Amino acid sequence: MSWTITLADLLLRAVADDDCASVIIMDTDLRRLYLPYDGGADVILASPQERDALKNAHADWLSTHPLGL
């Protein structure tokens, strides 16, 4: 299967290019939030277990700053 450009891709590109801001992508239950900005993103998940699983799965994406910033 090949990747196709979606509306979400275009929105995320606009955020990355600093063409728009204050974007929040969420699930229909409002329990998981993805807040992209031009330098990265914040993710708010439904539980500490989900947070830890995502952190472990993508540890190479995290900041190397000692404070995690």
Given CA atoms 42, 51, 8, 1 in this order, what sign does their dihedral have? positive
Query: Is residue 69 in some structural domain?
Result: no
**CA-closest candidate to residue 42, choices 18, 22, 14:** 22
Q: Which domain holds residue 51?
A: 7-61
> Is 47 part of a structural domain of the chain?
yes
Q: Give, for 56, the enclosing helix (H) or strand (E).
A: helix 48-57
Whether residue 2 has pLDDT greater than 80: no
Number of domains in the chain: 1
pLDDT tens for 29-60 read: 999 999 999 888 999 999 999 999 999 999 89
Q: What are phi and psi of 40, to 5 degrees?
A: 155, -145
Strand order through the sheet with 33-37: 25-26, 33-37, 40-44
Higher pLDDT, 21 or 3: 21
